[in-house]
Amino acid sequence: MTMTAPEAPLPDKEEEFGRWYDEILKRTELVDARYGVKGFIVYRPNAMRMVKRIYEMFEEELERTGHMPVLFPVVIPYSYFKMESEHIKGFEKQVYMVGEAGGEELEERLVLRPTSETAFYPMLSLWMHSHTDLPMKLYQGVEVYRYETKATRPLLRARGFLWIETHDAFARKEDAERQIEEDLGIARRVYDELALAFLVIEREPYDKFPGAENSYAYDALLPNRHVLQIATTHYLGQNFSRAFDVTFLDEHGGHEHPYTTCLGVGVSRTLAAMVITHGDRYGLVLPFGFSVHDVVIVPIPYHDVEGEVDEKSKRVEEILRAAGFDVLLDDSDRTPGDKYYRWEMLGVPVRIEVGRMEVRGGYVTLFRRDTRGREKVPDDKLVERLEELEREISRNLRRKAWERLEGSIVTARNRDELVELARLGKIIRASFCGRKECADEIKDATGYEIRGRRVDVDEEPDERCAWCGAPAKRVVYLAKAY
Ligand SMILES: [Zn+2]
């Protein structure tokens, strides 16, 4: 019986990231970009367990922190959309607009939501009466639409993408500010469980969300040395509540505008980050809970022991199912080699092989996808070993992701070093004067963007801006952004 892989391994992820990414999406059948509208994709069954699990994890965290689910229409009246002036300036060129229905021009054009502040706030003003209604913390998980003019790429940059948004309102400024901390904690806990590494960054003032006072973002690292923003949280102050005239009666009977915040999680991008961060030449690598199955049993029948192999495979399946594992016994007609290839490509964390040796020896051969290592596990230790592996695989993936991220950060002390490190594709740490002109010059010279200040560490800048020599205000991180 041949055991050769039906197809050659994928290209090298570090050397040929673009080819690797296109090829892994194709072979894993996660999504299909051949749908008839450019920039829109179809999510196929192999992607949906990941999508659902990412949603579930965020939703669990959100509900645990007092958020309630809602579901708003996809269309926003243009009159709502234009109410916050900075917001419309930032989004106007990116929106899809519905102008016609039933063959007639609509009286008012409708915006397909690019984000839902301007949908939520008119309703908040109807729902909010007194300070006892606050805090009001709402979320929805939906698809949003943005007319991207840059080249689109499945999951990374699309014109429709899955996300979760919260819209929170508070009576007091301090409570809204505390919500930003809570949002950062929610994202951190989920991304830790997804074994992703990330920088938590406060964006520069000229680079914040349209209409926000402060913006914070999670940046993950791609192997092509670009960073990918996977989630953001914004402190909106009273900007939106004033623009939409949302008020509540305070304890003294006065009308006040609430302070508001919003968190946006790019679910499509989070999925991309998992594929890209953990994947290798043999396909997806995933922690338990994300692939189509967690454990797959592959019987390797030989003539003299076929019945015994069959019987043992079924017994192992029953034991693992009873122990609560998501297990599949692959007794299809494919060859074992074909099965290995397929389940490795889909990132199934553990494969169990049952053949002649295993039947005779009272053990199984266990293959773990993250290290591609094999080990013999006695039949009576299997459940215990799988429980251990569930934790071990997550830990291993998380450690590797962080090592890669931290290993690519290098400090530049002056202009020459900055140019050189940008040429090498590093994430650059540098002291910065805070001026937009300086950031623009750096972008022109190197293609690098100032992502902002890290909020998860305290850092003292040098005296001078690494680029222009003016007094430095803070330490910032620079990278090419996807
Ligand atoms: Zn400067």
CATH number, residue 137: 3.30.930.10
Cα 437 to ligand 1 centroid, rounded to whole Å = 8
Query: Last residue of a domain, which of 363, 390, 417?
Result: 390
Distance CA 207, CA 467 (A): 19
Cα 178 to ligand 1 centroid, rounded to whole Å = 31
Q: Is the domain of 61 the same as that of 106?
A: yes
Cα 465 to ligand 1 centroid, rounded to whole Å = 5
Cα 441 to ligand 1 centroid, rounded to whole Å = 9
Cα 436 to ligand 1 centroid, rounded to whole Å = 8
Instruction: Give pairs for 324-330: CB < 8 Å, separation 24+.
Output: 325/294, 325/295, 325/386, 326/293, 326/294, 326/295, 327/293, 327/294, 327/295, 327/296, 327/297, 328/292, 328/293, 328/295, 328/296, 328/297, 329/296, 329/297, 329/299, 330/296, 330/297, 330/298, 330/299
Residues found in the chain = 482
Q: Does residue 74 sit within a domain? A: yes
Q: Is the domain of 416 the same as that of 366?
A: no
Distance CA 139, CA 233 (A): 13
159-189 pLDDT, tens digit per residue, is: 999 999 999 999 999 999 999 999 999 999 9
Cα 454 to ligand 1 centroid, rounded to whole Å = 18
Q: Does residue 11 sit within a domain? A: no
Cα 433 to ligand 1 centroid, rounded to whole Å = 4
pLDDT in tens, the chain (482 residues): 344 456 789 999 999 999 999 999 999 999 999 999 999 999 999 999 999 999 999 999 999 999 999 999 999 999 999 988 888 888 889 999 999 999 999 999 999 999 999 999 999 999 999 999 999 999 999 999 999 988 889 999 999 999 999 999 999 999 999 999 999 999 999 999 999 999 999 999 988 888 899 999 999 999 888 999 999 999 999 999 999 999 999 999 999 999 999 999 999 999 999 999 999 999 999 999 999 999 999 999 988 888 999 999 999 999 999 999 999 999 999 999 999 999 999 999 999 999 999 999 999 999 999 999 999 999 999 999 999 999 999 999 999 999 999 999 999 999 999 999 999 999 999 999 999 999 999 999 999 999 999 998 999 999 999 999 999 999 999 999 98
Q: Is the domain of 74 the same as that of 168?
A: yes
Q: Does residue 364 sit within a domain? A: yes
Name the pTM for this structure: 0.95
Q: Is the domain of 236 the same as that of 190?
A: yes
Cα 480 to ligand 1 centroid, rounded to whole Å = 18
Of the candidates 370, 401, 406, which has an alpha carbon nearest to the alpha carbon of residue 194?
Answer: 401
Q: Which one-letter amino acid corresponds to residue 387?
A: E
Query: Last residue of a domain, which of 355, 390, 425?
Result: 390
Cα 225 to ligand 1 centroid, rounded to whole Å = 23
Distance CA 214, CA 204 (A): 8
Instruction: Give residue 321's domain range.
Output: 295-390
CATH number, residue 365: 3.40.50.800
